Amino acid sequence: MADTDLSKVMKQEVGKEAANRVQSNSILGLGTGSTTAYAIQYIGERLQRGELQNIQGIPTSFQAEVLSKQYGIPLTTLDAIDHMDLAIDGADEVDPNKNLIKGGGAAHTREKVVDTLADQFIVVVDSGKLVDKLGSTFLLPVEVIPMAVTPVLRKLEKFGGKPELRMGVKKAGPVVTDQGNLVIDVKFDEIANPRELEKEINNIPGVLENGLFVGVTDVVLVGEVKGDQTNIREF
């Protein structure tokens, strides 16, 4: 099998495993990204087959909302619920303490709101996302209100980061989030204390939210390739 096929199969398998953990009568946080998209698809298919009943989803992005509607998952809002049973979401990096960097899809602000509210938060990734130290392979996304971009860029440099405004692909100009804000991606040589850095960055005026998710994850489902086969591991 070609590498790209295997990577797709890993995402499908891990998405299916997460979808199989959903129980009837639940309120679900529905994450963003290519891996969670498969979880949303399989939850929808389980609903259509009658294996699941009475599911309500809270999407973490425009993408998740569109997919949920496409696969027939009834949606609700945070105003209408008093708890959330389970959230399923992807990640860009996962460290050995299950801390995450998220925001590759610029959806980390809504993702953090939803994922932290769930009684159980399951992260779905392929094994390439596992790192010893956060920040080693992925830049840290920071959502910023547009008028504050320049002072926030300067402040992030003072914190020792190398920040750059995220630019659109097939779109001239910067990426605009679902909330109408911009995203600064920051390279840190080392994120020694993710918990502290998460708070420090969020304390900069004009920052809405950053992509460090510390102490939030309950379960990580990892898709990995063994020879020509894919395997799902939990930690």
The verdict on 14 binding ligand 5RP (CB under 6 A) reads no
- Say how far apart CA 207 and CA 221 lie, in whole Å: 30
178 is a site residue for ligand 5RP (CB under 6 A) = no
The residue to which tokens 């020509």 are assigned: 228
**Residue written as tokens 């898709």?**
223
Tell me how far apart the alpha carbons of residues 132 and 68 are, in angstroms, rounded to a whole number. 33
Residues sharing a CB contact under 8 Å with residue 50, sequence separation 6 or more, in sequence order = none
Interaction of residue 31 with ligand 5RP, rule CB under 6 A: yes
Question: Which candidate in 13, 111, 198, 224 is catalytic?
Answer: 111
User: Is position 157 annotated as part of the catalytic site?
Assistant: no
Q: Which of 38, 47, 42, 48 is nearest to 9 (CA)?
A: 38
Q: In this structure, what token pair is assigned to residue 53? A: 């009943």
**Residue 39: helix, strand or coil by DSSP?**
helix
- Quick check: 166 binds ligand 5RP (CB under 6 A)? no
Closest CB to ligand 5RP among residues 107, 204: 107
Name which of 82 and 230 has its Cβ closer to ligand 5RP: 230
Cα(214)–Cα(212) distance, rounded to whole angstroms? 6
User: Interface with ligand 5RP by CB under 6 A: which range of 20-28, 32-40, 69-77, 222-230?
Assistant: 32-40
Q: Are 43 and 28 in contact (CB under 8 A)?
A: yes
Q: What is the amino acid identity at position 170?
A: K
The single residue among 16, 46, 98, 108 that binds ligand 5RP, judged by CB under 6 A, is 108
Q: Kindly tell me which residue out of 13, 65, 92, 143 binds ligand 5RP, with binding defined by CB under 6 A.
A: 92
The residue type at 114: V
Q: Does 223 bind ligand 5RP (CB under 6 A)?
A: no
Among 44, 57, 59, 105, binds ligand 5RP (CB under 6 A): 105
Contacting range for ligand 5RP; rule: CB under 6 A; set: 45-53, 85-93, 162-170, 200-208: 85-93
Q: Which stretch binds ligand 5RP (CB under 6 A): 71-79, 105-113, 153-161, 165-173?
A: 105-113
Tell me the closest approach of the beta carbon of residue 135 to ligand 5RP, in angstroms. 15
Contact predicate 193/212, CB 8 Å? no
**Residue 185 in tokens:** 């991606």
Stretch that binds ligand 5RP, among 42-50, 83-91, 155-163, 214-222 (CB under 6 A): 83-91
Site track 111-130 with ligand 5RP (rule: CB under 6 A), x = hit: x-------------------
Is the distance from CB of 121 to CB of 113 less than 8 angstroms? no
The DSSP element (H or E) to which 71 belongs, if any, is none
Binding site for ligand 5RP (CB under 6 A): 31-36, 89-92, 102-108, 111
Residues acting as catalytic residues? 111
